[in-house]
Every structure is written in structure tokens, then in C-alpha cells.
Amino acid sequence: MASNSSDTPRPKLVVFDLDYTLWPFWVDTHVTPPFHKKGGDVFDSFNEKVRAFPEVPDVLQWLHGEGYIIAAASRTGEIRGAKQLVKLFGWEKYFKYAEIYPGCKKKHFSRFRAESGLEYSEMIFFDDEGRNIRDLKEVGVVSVLVPHSGVTRKLVEQGLAQFAKQRRVGVEK
């Protein structure tokens, strides 16, 4: 059973929801676009500071450095605001794909599959909403429910371990 780390199954594509997964608010209701940057910080149109969950920048940088392809999948109706925040937070360099529009997330993932040529079995998904987790599990994406504390390094490591376990079971069947 024991195997070295190079045999550990790992996803090729890591997909994150945005609202309450990478940042602690709904971009369509809790903050007010357009956003702007001042002194390295991001503010909304009422000059309220807008922050991501604290570990998110490091987590994205780490995954990127490890060679994972990263994508964002959001159902928000505030498409422009969400894209603007991604840009102002400096995350455009991490997200190879971004599907941001309302609707069932199976649609977002069918776009990822078409664009990347990857299969659902090669993807992992982090989202704070049970309905999205259920939808993507249904099509075979390893899907991790994000708690109220948002994405952390520990949560992503647990997710990657879960992926390895599920895929290894799949191989041994």
C-alpha cells in the first residue's frame, strides 16, 4: 500500500468558488463596486476596505508554485465586480480559467473541461455551498465543503489528501 509521493494521485486543476470561499462576503450585496486600490489595499466605492480570507494569497501562490492549474468558478450576478476584485487582489496570474456568471456550476465545469482538455476526475473543487458540492460530486469531481473560516492551507492539504485517497481507491478497484 505504501508508495512514495510521486505515486500520490494529485489533481491537475484546482477550482475555487469566490464568495465565502476566497473572500468573506457576497460581492453582489455586502460590498459596493467599483473597487479601487490605495496603498496596497483594496476599497469599495464607499471606501470600505475589502479583504480576502487571510491565508488565501499564500495558498494560491503555493499551489501555483507546485504546478497546479488554478481556476475560479462563481455564480455571482456581479460579474464585473468579481473580476475587478480578482484583478486588484493580484490573482489574475494564478487563475488560468475563470467562469463567473449565475447558474448551475456544472455548466462552469463543463467549460473548464472543454477549455483545459482535462477530465472531471483530474479536478478538485472548493466551495462553501452544499448545493454546488452535491452538483459536482454527481459528475465525479472531488468536492470539498469550505467552512465559515474560508480557504486555508490546512483545508487545501486535507482536500488534496482526500483526492489522493479517492483516486487511489479508484485505481485499485
Interacting residues with Mg ion between 112 and 151 (CB under 5 A): 128
> Can you point out the beta strands (E) in the chain?
13-16, 36-38, 41-43, 49-50, 69-74, 95-100, 123-127, 142-145
Stated as kind and residue range, the H or E segment containing 157 is helix 153-172
Catalytic residue among 19, 44, 128, 135: 19
Q: How many residues does the chain have?
A: 173
Helix intervals (H) in 50-104: 56-65, 79-88
Contact characters 46-75, Mg ion, x per CB under 5 A? ------------------------------
Of 13-21, 32-40, 134-142, 158-166: span binding Mg ion (CB under 5 A): 13-21
Per the annotation, the verdict on 19 as an active-site residue is: yes
- Check residue 19 for interaction with Mg ion (CB under 5 A): yes
Per the annotation, the verdict on 135 as an active-site residue is: no
Smallest separation (angstroms) from Mg ion to the CB of 39: 28
The set of catalytic residues is: 17, 19
**Contact positions vs Mg ion (CB under 5 A):** 17, 19-21, 128
